[in-house]
Structure 1
Amino acid sequence: MDQNPEKTKVLILGGTGEMGQWFTRFFKERGYKVTVWGKGGKTEIARKLEVPFASDLEETVPVSDIVIVSVPINVTEETIAEFAPKMKVGSLLMDFTSIKVKPVEAMRKFAPSDVEILGTHPMFGPTIRTIRGQTVILVPVKGRSERWFPVIKELFEEGGAHVEITTAAEHDRLVSVVQGLTHFAYISIGTTIDRLDFDVKRSRKFVSPVYDIMLDFVGRILGQNPYLYALIQMENPGVLEVHDAFIRECEELSRLVRAHDEEGFAKKMKAAARQYGDTAHALRKSDKLINSRIAEYETILNSVGKVCGFSHFYSGKIHVGTLEKVGPDEIVLTKLASKGTSPHIKNKLVKLKLENLRLLSESELWEWRKENLEHSTRDISVLIPQGADPEVILNAINTNKQLAACEISDIYRGFNRIDYKGLSRVETEKERKKAEELAVTYRITIFGDCNADSVESEVIALLCGLGCRIREKNLERKT
């Protein structure tokens, strides 16, 4: 078995689906040779991903080193039954299903004994940009996961994921609450709002931080593939027991409210808090989440009139420009003209939804401006004081945040030819010292969205303040 990524062939069954596409990019970025297949035959998605589409699985499956099943839960077992027997000796069969008992059993049953199997459940959706910080659950099977299991575990961990190892039975029991209860509760809130014909948009005008975050999570679930969420509820046998407990508790709490039984209600909450455990930790974490949202919004508000950068969560597109206006839900930006921008779209005003944006850090904004703007370059030649270090002066110039770069382009000594005739001893010594001064040319690159003349003047003022003398004849300008 060859575990060199560049020689490892990965076939993703369901690779044209959203999660399949996500992992196609993941494996491809790490050097694996990825091929995708989807029941709908969407070869255009394969072209977009720049990977082959498996038009003939009878040929592709037997030559693949890793086969990943990333199809809907209700067809996972039949997909495994159809293609697992065709896999080659020493290869690996994985599934990305939200349940584990049935898929693992199917892989154990239908994959040849010399094919390894590994149950896998990424605990995140395709809208997440990176695996870093995410949880991936692995279900190795004794005697069937020895060679490939450490390879896959290391692959995910090197990407920054937290890998959790468990059994298929424990996975399904825990996920019946982690996903089954969570999704059920949020979807129930959404359907309740629908039943009440409640104006969600208007309610946000009376919002509390907790309600605002809850609405976002409800909307996040409701905006996903409803068939996927239906199957998560219906295919895990443990979910029904969770539903029964949830419904009974809702009914019991409602009964206590109707009876105005404050003590009974409080007793229920206290018992739940004891079972929950560290509620203080939960309070601190939720406060951190709430405060981070408030802090980012405050930062954006305080940036009106300044150049800001925003990254779009889903498209990955970067928007940089002068922030003109900030509202509760959107911002108005005058976009900066990047290299190659057509004249008719320069200084274009754009409106962007805040929920889709992440504010770029200062370093990210600096990098974008450096790479994307047209800059001005100016050469400033100076005589530096005796004993001064040109590099230290360079570091001082580089503190100017309006500079994309600054470097020493030239450095030399003794450029003057002096006639000492008629000079006194003091004057001669003075002229000799001047002749021995270092002449340094600093080349500054000024961001394209800054006033080049003004920035140059600032740098000259700094140099003079450090005791340098400007060589006016050698002051050059380049644009």
Structure 2
Amino acid sequence: MFAKEITVGLFGFGGFGQLIAKELSDHVAMKIHDPYTSVLGGVSLAEAAQCDVIILAVPVQEIRSICEDIAGFLKEGTVVVDVGSVKLAPISDMVECLPEHVQIVGTHPLFGPQSAQDGIAGHKLSLCPVRGAAWRVIRAFLKRRLRLNVITCHPEDHDREAAMVQGLTHLIAKVLTEMGPLPTRMTTASFELMAKAVEMVKDDPPTVLNAIENANPFAAEVRDSFFHRADIVRAQLDTNLRRM
């Protein structure tokens, strides 16, 4: 399925869209449309929407409106793929807004421009089959050609795990960033690993944090549990301090 004669319409040319273009340009013919800014060599929405495969690299909250905009241009059998950091909400939007003759695959690359600076091979990607059989071809392409570690899962299972994996990472990074510059002189190996994790996500656009913390229906529960346990630990430390 994936060859130079296959056309891929990429919607969104931000940091992650640029990473997608870099990794796919040697494998398929690409047409890029950014709904927010003009792209050198970019094409119109209609032209990009007539490609064989559509990749939606836009903020999660924009998925619905983009699907409504492109629905009338999509060919029968077109495969629409999103790359959002949550899956239940965007998949629901795609199912509701895209015509029945379109195939749908939900994906979440578990990496970004920072963590994939040395290439994407070996990184993880979650894949959620939604509509049609094209997901099997896409999975094979991702594994064999791009050498990704593909995890096939249900959208709800994805969001439950991501609520902790991404939710806590970005939450802790946000708090530590707000505390000011992290020490760089007297550091331990464990602190350096934590600082590296913060560095990987601290420059993500606000839309990413919003999707992870607000669009994921399980994030609030994880967040409340984390702060509850943090309060318990703080109370224990305060009690021990008074006993000294």
TM-score scaled by structure 2? 0.91
| Counterpart selection for 2:54 from 67, 81, 96 | 67
* Bigger Rg, structure 1 or 2: 1
Distance 1:245 1:85 in 2: 44
Q: Report the RMSD for the aligned CA atoms in angstroms.
A: 1.8
Shift of 1:181: 1.5
Aligned with 2:90 (options 93, 103, 127)? 103
How far has the Cα of 1:36 moved from its partner? 0.5
Q: What residue number does 1:207 align with?
A: 187
Query: What amino acid sits opposite 1:252 in the alignment?
Result: I
Alignment match of 2:76 (pick from 59, 69, 89)? 89
Q: Which of residues 102, 107, 120 in structure 2 aligns to 1:131?
A: 120
Q: Which amino acid aligns with 2:158?
A: H
Deviations 1:387-434 (A, max 9, x none): xxxxxxxxxxxxxxxxxxxxxxxxxxxxxxxxxxxxxxxxxxxxxxxx
Instruction: Give the counterpart letter for 1:173 in structure 2.
Output: R
Instruction: Specify which of 26, 31, 34 is matched with residue 30 of structure 2.
Output: 34
- CA-CA distance at 1:11 after TM superposition: 0.2
1:180-191 counterparts in 2 under 5 A? 180-191=167-178
Partner of residue 140, structure 2: 154
- Aligned mates of 1:79, 1:181 — CA distance in 2: 29
SS in 2 for 1:140: strand
Alignment gaps of 5+ in structure 1: 45-51, 262-479
Deviation at 1:95, TM superposition (A): 0.5
Gaps of 5+ in 2: none
Could you tell me how far 1:139 is from its partner in structure 2?
0.4
Aligned counterpart for 2:46 among listed residues 48, 58, 62: 58
In structure 2, relative to structure 1, the CA distance for the partners of 1:65 and 1:259 (3 Å cut) is same
1:4 deviation in Å?
Answer: 5.0
Report the CA distance between 1:208 and its aligned residue.
Answer: 1.5
Once residues 171 and 238 of structure 1 are traced to their aligned partners in structure 2, the CA distance between those partners, rounded to angstroms, is 10
Higher relative contact order (CA 8 A, sep 6+): 2
Which residue does 2:103 correspond to in 1? 116
- Paired residue type of 2:215: E
User: What letter is aligned with 2:82?
Assistant: D
Q: Secondary structure, in 3 states, of the residue corresponding to 2:42?
A: coil
CA contact (8 A) 2:126 2:153 kept: yes
Report what 1:6 is aligned to: 4
> 2:132 aligned with 1:145, yes or no?
yes
For 2:213, the aligned partner's letter is Q
Matches within 5 A, 1:348-387: none
SS at match of 1:98: coil
Where 2:150 maps in the other structure, the secondary structure is strand
- The amino acid across from 1:157 in the alignment is K
Amino acid at match of 1:187: K
Match of 1:24 in 2: 21
Cα distance, 1:89 vs. partner? 0.6
Displacement of 1:80 after TM fit?
Answer: 1.5
Deviation at 1:211, TM superposition (A): 1.6
Find the aligned partners of 1:260 and 1:85 in 2 and give their Cα distance: 66
**TM-score after normalising by structure 1:** 0.48
Corresponding residue SS for 1:64: coil
User: What is the distance in 1 between the residues matched to 2:203 and 2:45?
Assistant: 33
Is contact 2:57–2:82 with CA below 8 Å preserved after alignment? yes
Are residue 254 (structure 1) and residue 243 (structure 2) matched? no
SS at match of 2:104: strand
Q: Secondary structure at the match of 1:207?
A: coil
- TM superposition shift of 1:125: 0.3
Deviation at 1:64, TM superposition (A): 0.9
**Paired residues of 1:134 and 1:161 also in contact (CA < 8 A):** yes
SS in 1 for 2:162: helix
| The one of 194, 204, 228 aligned to 1:224 | 204
Instruction: Return the structure number with greater strand share.
Output: 1
Q: Deviations over 1:75-101 (max 9, x none)?
A: 112212221342111110111111111
Q: Which amino acid aligns with 2:138?
A: I
| Count, aligned residues | 238
Q: Deviations 1:233-292 (Å, cap 9, x if unpaired)?
A: 12112111111101100100000001118xxxxxxxxxxxxxxxxxxxxxxxxxxxxxxx
In structure 2, distance between residues paired with 1:4 and 1:225: 31
Structure 1 segment 382-397 matched on structure 2, within 5 A: none
- Asked if structure 2 preserves the Cα contact closer than 8 Å seen for 1:66 and 1:94, the reply is yes
Identity score, percent: 24
- What is aligned with 1:241? 221
Q: Deviations over 1:136-191 (max 9, x none)?
A: 111002xx221x11211111101211100111111111111110122112222232
Decide whether the 8 Å contact of 1:77 with 1:102 is kept in 2. Answer: no
Q: CA deviation at 1:217?
A: 2.0
Query: Do 2:33 and 2:48's aligned partners in 1 also have CA atoms closer than 8 Å?
Result: no
How big is each residue's C-alpha offset from its partner over 1:15-60, in whole Å with a ceiling of 9 and x where there is no partner?
x211111111222111x1100011233323xxxxxxx411x22244
